[in-house]
Chains A and B, each alone.
Chain A
Amino acid sequence: GNSVTQMEGPVTLSEEAFLTINCTYTATGYPSLFWYVQYPGEGLQLLLKATKADDKGSNKGFEATYRKETTSFHLEKGSVQVSDSAVYFCALGSGGSYIPTFGRGTSLIVHP
């Protein structure tokens, strides 16, 4: 079946540091890949997505590239801000299932 594995947190960084949150997946067929973000006290919201191999999703300075050869979709940002502190979820959606598969989430804490 489908699965998503993302690095455990918390990830603690200083403001303006470089961020990488690793995400790898297992899926049949050609899934779409997502990053969702959950700010404290809120629900999840879409951060970015990619629907086919080599696509790059980007939003708010975050980027992730769909790498089929390594089955990965790592999230990166060049310079994090305190306001980026949140929990980040990697997810996949496969045409074979209407239930998306979510990773366990990675907490990011950014200090001033």
Chain B
Amino acid sequence: GAGVSQSPSNKVTEKGKDVELRCDPISGHTALYWYRQSLGQGLEFLIYFQGNSAPDKSGLPSDRFSAERTGGSVSTLTIQRTQQEDSAVYLCASSWKGGGGGETQYFGPGTRLLVL
């Protein structure tokens, strides 16, 4: 299908290692969001990309977290020196323009990260 895809679907890593999570948005969507969903919690906004504009990084919890979006399409979320509290489901979503308002977000299936 032509939905949002994420990889890997599951990732187990050891504390202190770096991980990269990938998101492939729907073709033509200019807005891309990353969220974190901890067990039993709601969605925590991490970062937002809109076209070629500078990303809104206001939700990143620490400088161990960073993200890139290449060519206005695929995005990679990197977590350096992982900690156990980073264990969560990382969700990616895309939308046509990211203008807020009435725009629907399309979510990927998520990456389940477990830090041992």
Instruction: Let me know if A49 and B50 touch, CB within 8 A.
Output: no
With a cutoff of 8 Å between Cβ atoms, the chain B residues found around residue A34 in the complex are 104
B25 in the interface (beta carbon within 8 A): no
Instruction: Let me know if B99 and A95 touch, CB within 8 A.
Output: yes
Instruction: Let me know if A93 and B41 touch, CB within 8 A.
Output: no
In the complex with contacts A98-B48, A103-B42, A43-B101 CB distance below 8 A? no
Q: CB-defined interface of A42-63 with B at 8 Å, one 1/0 digit per residue?
A: 1111100101000000000000
A residues 90-106 with Cβ under 8 Å of B? 93-100, 102-105
Instruction: Let me know if A49 and B4 touch, CB within 8 A.
Output: no
Interface of B is mostly: loop
B residues 63-112 with Cβ under 8 Å of A? 91, 93, 98-110
Residue of A nearest to B45 (CB): A99
Size bin of chain B's contact surface: 20 to 34
A89 in the interface (beta carbon within 8 A): yes
In the complex with contacts A42-B109, A89-B43, A98-B50 CB distance below 8 A? yes
Instruction: Let me know if A100 and B99 touch, CB within 8 A.
Output: no
**B42 contacts which of A41, A51, A94, A102 (Cβ < 8 Å)?**
A102
Instruction: Let me know if A104 and B41 touch, CB within 8 A.
Output: yes
B56 in the interface (beta carbon within 8 A): yes
A32 in the interface (beta carbon within 8 A): yes
**What would 6 A/B residue contacts be, using CB atoms closer than 8 Å?**
A36-B105, A41-B109, A46-B106, A94-B101, A95-B101, A99-B56
